[in-house]
Amino acid sequence: MPRTLKLTLLTATLLVLALIAAVAWVGPVAHAATDYPEPSPYPTSWEITFDYKTPTRIVVNVPGSVSPKAYWYMPYTITNDGEETQNFIPQFEILTSDGKVHKALNNVPVVVFDTIKSRERNKLMVAPTKVSGEIRPGVDQARDGVAVWEEPAKDMDTFKIFVGGLSGEFVELKDDKGNVLKDAKGETLILRKTLQLTYHLNGDDVYPGEDVINEGEGRIGKNPKVWVMR
């Protein structure tokens, strides 16, 4: 057999083997992605309407601190557009680009809350400790609140905010045999319908608080607002 033909056959064989390997590697990943629970495209349970503003950085002189402290906050309004009273227990978390999760403060320093309330010029805004509880149906029962975090990172880059407590939809996690999964304490693992908001800062940490905050991931503004199971 000519040397050129042998090389051609060898090359073709290697290409086929590489293709098979690539399919074998990609296949399970794609399959796993489709198996992950996703929210229903239509509401299957109660939902609370959530209107919000772009998160903002603020620096406040907090009594007892040797220097001013930086915070991030996001004002919001909740409205029960349903027909029944719902119990609103919000959960706010920021996921920074380094993979760390930062929970919103529950007990926000009074001076921080007052500064935010004054800055937003919203006399109806209530503190995080007072926003939870029953919310009756109707626009006249709407409630204004604010989520507040101690500054999660000097360079925020791309970050996500997760808002829980807005929907009654949930799913129990199960294995491939249909058995309900449980944690170390024996409690059922549950994912709940959660709102995911994505933001991106074009600048860096040189001039904190002065960079433009854009909705969406990166400069293209991809998927700024989606529902996820979390």
Q: What are the pLDDT digits (tens) for 59-68?
A: 999 998 889 9
Check pLDDT > 70 for residue 16: no
In a domain, 209, yes or no: yes
Is there a domain that residue 23 lies in?
no
What local confidence, expressed as pLDDT, does residue 30 receive?
37
The whole-number average pLDDT for the span 152-167 is 94
Q: Is residue 18 included in any domain, yes or no? A: no
Over residues 70-96, the mean pLDDT reads 97
Angle in degrees, CA 136, 140, 143, rounded to 5 = 70
**What is d(CA 216, CA 130) in angstroms, rounded to the nearest whole number?**
30
For residue 43, tell me if it sits in a domain: no
Residues 6+ apart with CB under 8 A from 149: 71, 72, 73, 92, 94, 102, 103, 104, 105
- 5 band by pLDDT with thresholds 50, 70 and 90: very low
Specify if 7 maps to a domain: no
- pLDDT for the residue 28: 40
CB atoms within 10 A of CB 182: 12
Residue 32 lies in a domain: no
The answer to whether position 85 is within a domain reads: yes
Summary mean pLDDT of the chain: 83
> Is the model's pLDDT at 32 over the cut of 50?
no
**141-159 average pLDDT score:** 95
For residue 12, tell me if it sits in a domain: no
pLDDT confidence of residue 203 = 64
Give residue 72's domain range.
49-229
Of 74, 80, 196, 85, nearest to 145 by C-alpha is 74
pLDDT at site 43 = 83
What is residue 215's predicted lDDT score, i.e. its pLDDT? Answer: 87
Distances (CA, A) of 203 to 51, 94, 126, 131, 220: 27, 19, 32, 33, 15
Q: Is the pLDDT of residue 11 over 60?
A: no
Phi, psi of 109 (to 5 degrees): -50, 135
Q: Cα(180)–Cα(19) distance, rounded to whole angstroms?
A: 37
Looking at the chain, the whole-number percentage of residues with pLDDT higher than 70 is 79
In the predicted model, what is the mean pLDDT of residues 7-11? 44
- Alpha helix (H) ranges present in the chain? 3-35, 110-120, 128-131
Q: Coil, strand, or helix at residue 180? A: strand
Closest CA to 165 of 193, 185, 198: 193
pLDDT at 209: 62
Total number of domains constituting the chain = 1
Determine the longest span between alpha carbons in the chain, in angstroms.
89
pLDDT band at 36 (very low <50, low <70, confident <90, very high): confident
Looking at the predicted structure, is the pLDDT value of residue 42 above 60? yes
* Predicted local confidence at residue 143, as pLDDT: 97
